[in-house]
Homo-oligomer: A and B are copies of this chain.
Amino acid sequence: MFVHETQFRVRYVETDQMGYVYYGNYAQYFEVGRVEAIRSLGLTYREMEEELGVMMPVKSLNIKYLRPVFYDELITVKTMITAMPERNINFHAEVYNSKGELTTGATITLAFVDIKLKQTVNIPEEFKKRLEVYFGG
């Protein structure tokens, strides 16, 4: 299992007139979480697009909202990969508020798509290699 944590503050633009973070904005938080998770593996999502020619469109997104998150909170996004990806990759994400309480849980499934061919492909070898240490063999 691969686990990564990243922290940042809620921006004003991300709140709505309820005074909470707008429900659609969590998708950005999960994105930041997985981008930083990939960077921690010594790869970047940007390189994946530019050098490996692979992009990762989202296939499904499931979110449970347990508690609201507020403006200026320093939140922690925990990003997990629990199984070696092949055709798709599943990220599990959790958002914790500044008190350490779980506020939001999500599962995001993405495909690997060859940018030129516009066809789904397997996880790039570069990426797989970096994950192998977390999934034994």
Contacts and interface: CB of A to CB of B under 8 A. Distances in A.
Interface of A: 8-9, 11-13, 15-20, 22-28, 31-32, 35, 44-46, 55, 57-65, 68, 71-72
Of A22, A32, A35, chain B has the most CB atoms within 10 Å of the CB of A22
Taking the full assembly, how many copies of this chain does it contain? 4
List the 5 shortest-distance A-B pairs measured between CB atoms, nearest first. Answer: A24-B27, A23-B58, A15-B17, A46-B72, A17-B19
Nearest to A32: B11
Overall SS of chain A's interface: mixed
A131 B116 CA distance: 37
Contacts of A24: 13, 24-28, 31
A30 to B, nearest CB: 8
